[in-house]
Amino acid sequence: MAQEKARDPALWSGRFSEPVSELVKRFTASVDFDRRLAEFDIDGSLAHARMLKACEIIHADDLAAIEKGLAQVREEIRAGTFTWSLDAEDVHLNIEKRLTALVGDAGKRLHTARSRNDQVATGVRLYLRASIDDIIDLIK
């Protein structure tokens, strides 16, 4: 039996037969730029998790685990102890991987009824709203 190649974790890597080179990872990863969205991604994820619970899509214990896990991720980011990975490509996947490592399957349920595009758009909108508020305060 032929030995299988290790799967590259990049979302788009399924199209290629060879692993993605480190140069390409550094070029395509946005984590160095978009980590400024981390707080807003966490806020959006918390709101989404609470909606899933309110709609009875996830159980209370899943919500509690997600809330606790995201609080820990937020604290690690604020403290500068969070480990950012180029393999995870962006802020969203970095947070998702850490959350899942902390809380297991409950973390995987967070993506129920939410596309990656929805997640990114929400984070960007929250970031822009906060930035506009900061600009208005500076103008006053």
Torsion of CA 119, 120, 123, 128, to 10 degrees: -150
Which CATH number covers residue 65?
Answer: 1.10.275.10
Has residue 13 been placed in a domain?
no
pLDDT of residue 12: 52
Alpha-carbon distances of 52 from 26, 59, 65, 101, 110, rounded to whole Å: 35, 9, 13, 21, 8
pLDDT of residue 33: 83
**Closest alpha carbon to 63 in 74, 76, 49:** 49
- pLDDT for residue 5 is more than 50: no
Q: How many domains does the chain have?
A: 1
Mean pLDDT, rounded, for 109-132: 97
The pLDDT confidence band at residue 1, using thresholds 50, 70 and 90, is very low
Q: What are 129's two structure tokens? A: 């709203």
**pTM metric for this prediction:** 0.82
Has residue 12 been placed in a domain?
no
- pLDDT for residue 68 is more than 80: yes
Has residue 8 been placed in a domain?
no
- pLDDT for residue 123 is more than 70: yes
